[in-house]
Amino acid sequence: MSHYDKSLVWFRRDLRNFDHAALHHALQSSRSVYCAFIFDKDILDPLLEHGTLDRRVAFLHASLIELDAALRAQGGGLIVRHARAETAIPALAAELGADAVFINHDYEPAAVVRDQAVAAALKKKGCALLSSKDQVIHEKSEVLSQMGKPMSVFTPYKNAWLKKFNLPSGGYDLSLLDAYDCTPKKSQFAAPPAGGIPTLAEMGFDACDLAAIHIQPGMRGAQTLLDDFLPRLLHYGVARDFPAVKGPSYLSVHLRFGTVSIRALARHAMQAIQAGTGGEGAAVWLSELVWRDFYFMILHHHPHVTECAFKADYDRIAWEEGKKADADFAAWCEGRTGYPLVDAAMHQLNQTGYMHNRLRMVTACFLIKDLGIDWRRGEAYFARQLNDFDLSANNGGWQWAASSGCDAQPYFRIFNPITQSEKFDADGKFIKRYLPQLAKLDRKQIHAPWLVPELLLRSAGITLGKDYPAPIVAHDEARKRTLERYAVVKK
């Protein structure tokens, strides 16, 4: 028997019509179900301050077109509005005569405030806001220490996370990852009112050729990547560290927008581990999925991390400021530091919106510990550029690099950009892809062009300062300054 006559499923970062907690619960408890998405002006308008081309909005738009088509094939469809979600959802619920609005939890501080405002507005009209866990496996306070406290160190968290799946007989209880059934009854989906999906141009954005940067949006794009990755899973543990190698899953943007189910990914990893077919790669991949939950948990319990250091002492550090720091920051953003691996990584980010995870660590550490620039400036730049930008993971990664976060690298661990380059891009294949002006340098020369004799540089068609910049900082000297800068955390 249905609890609700009409309900509304508000899609946000969960753009799929399968294994979807909110959609499942709406279908289970409602006679008739509407589906909606709001292009939230509170999110989009600030993006327009940085330009009218945004790969994420294009990805989102294309994914919505696919989702709408999938829902229409089931007798429904998406109601899509370009408005402030905080007011648009209560207005839409009233327009439709909905008794309940179903959503999946969002853990970001601004989203929590928004959802509270929506819930209050709906309550005044006698409409419930019902929220479910969907974008993580374990959330909030579901994984705690033996003392019942939230954890701040990853390994104990991971062990406790995995323990929840342990069967007495050994192996994993995969039933905890069962997919939500989202099959509608006949005529259960309500057809949306007239009006289609606003175009990118109508919202002030330019079209983006996602195919040119090898991005296939939507549920089909996610499935294509997953099908490609699973045969490579065995070697993921090693291959993922080398940016010139096809090692990662490349699913991060799909996880961000929910065109793939996190439960399905964890299930694939655990099945490979249990079957003995995934090798170390499956365990490493599962660990990466646990890291994702870990950072969501940290954001939930410690929302101050979006503004301040997780470890308060690290906010006493004096970062470089002024014209020199601004010039260094611009050089870092634009890939003009004179360190090839750093510059190639930044060119990859700027051109495609993607950056290899190893290089995220290298570039972040370079900005913080070679240039002495506040990690928050780098975090904000990544937030604007990354297709897969997720507040919890981005913040967690930057605070890890700055040594100010939970379970972060020690402050005295300072990546050497040259040795990182020699180790993870030994032949310079990745560097040459994004810095073709260095293509004639051999595998020994390419990691530090300024150390190459001038005659050899000329024979390779390179003049430092013209074809490629000289280093803007000397790493050994920067390392000493960083140790001095971080001395305040020891006092």
Residues 361 and 421 sit within 8 Å (Cβ to Cβ): no
**Partners of 189 in the β-ladder:** 33
Angle made by CA atoms 219, 188, 67, in degrees to the nearest 5: 15
The set of residues, in sequence order, having a beta carbon less than 8 Å from that of 158 and lying 6+ positions away, is 287, 290, 294
In the predicted model, what is the mean pLDDT of residues 31-46? 98
pLDDT (0 to 100) of residue 169: 83
Positions annotated as catalytic residues are 288, 291, 319, 357, 375, 398
In the predicted model, what is the mean pLDDT of residues 331-340? 98
pLDDT at 491 over 80: no
pLDDT (0 to 100) of residue 334: 98
Q: Provide the strand spans (E) within 95-225.
A: 100-104, 128-132
User: What is each CA distance from 386 to 132, 189, 354, 394, in whole angstroms?
Assistant: 27, 35, 6, 9
* Total residues found in the chain within this entry: 491
- What residue segments make up the domains of the chain, in order of their start? 4-132, 136-178+218-301, 312-490
Per-residue pLDDT of 49-78, as tens digits, reads: 999 999 999 999 999 999 999 999 999 999
pLDDT (0 to 100) of residue 410: 86
Angle made by CA atoms 323, 327, 328, in degrees to the nearest 5: 120
pLDDT (0 to 100) of residue 277: 87
Question: Which residue would you say has higher pLDDT here, 171 or 302?
Answer: 302
Classify each residue of 192-205 as buried b or exposed e, where b means 16 or more C-beta atoms within 10 Å of its C-beta.
beeeebbebeebeb
pLDDT (0 to 100) of residue 490: 72
In the predicted model, what is the mean pLDDT of residues 117-125? 97
Tokens 């509270």 correspond to: 116
3-class DSSP state of 214: coil
pLDDT category at 2 given cuts 50, 70, 90 is low
Average pLDDT of the chain, as a whole number? 96
The percentage of residues in the chain with a pLDDT greater than 90, rounded to a whole number, is: 95
- 446/426 Cα distance (integer angstroms): 9
Which ranges of 188-261 does DSSP label H, i.e. alpha helix?
218-229, 236-239, 252-257
Tokens 């028997």 correspond to: 1
- 112/118 Cα distance (integer angstroms): 10
Eight-state DSSP code of residue 379: H
pLDDT (0 to 100) of residue 339: 98
* Bridging pattern class, strands 128-132 and 78-83: unpaired
CATH 1.25.40.80 is held by the domain 136-178+218-301 = yes
Residues 316 and 488 sit within 8 Å (Cβ to Cβ): yes
The percentage of residues in the chain with a pLDDT greater than 70, rounded to a whole number, is: 99
Eight-state DSSP code of residue 305: G
CATH number of 4-132: 3.40.50.620
pLDDT at 1 over 50: no
In the predicted model, what is the mean pLDDT of residues 443-454? 96
pLDDT at 259 over 70: yes
pLDDT (0 to 100) of residue 124: 97
Per-residue pLDDT of 286-335, as tens digits, reads: 999 999 999 999 999 999 999 999 999 999 999 999 999 999 999 999 99
In the predicted model, what is the mean pLDDT of residues 121-133? 97
What topology does CATH give the domain 312-490? DNA Cyclobutane Dipyrimidine Photolyase, subunit A; domain 3 (1.10.579)
Eight-state DSSP code of residue 34: E
CATH topology match: 4-132 vs 136-178+218-301: no
Radius of gyration of the chain (CA): 24
Q: Which of 269, 275, 274 is nearest to 237 (CA)?
A: 269
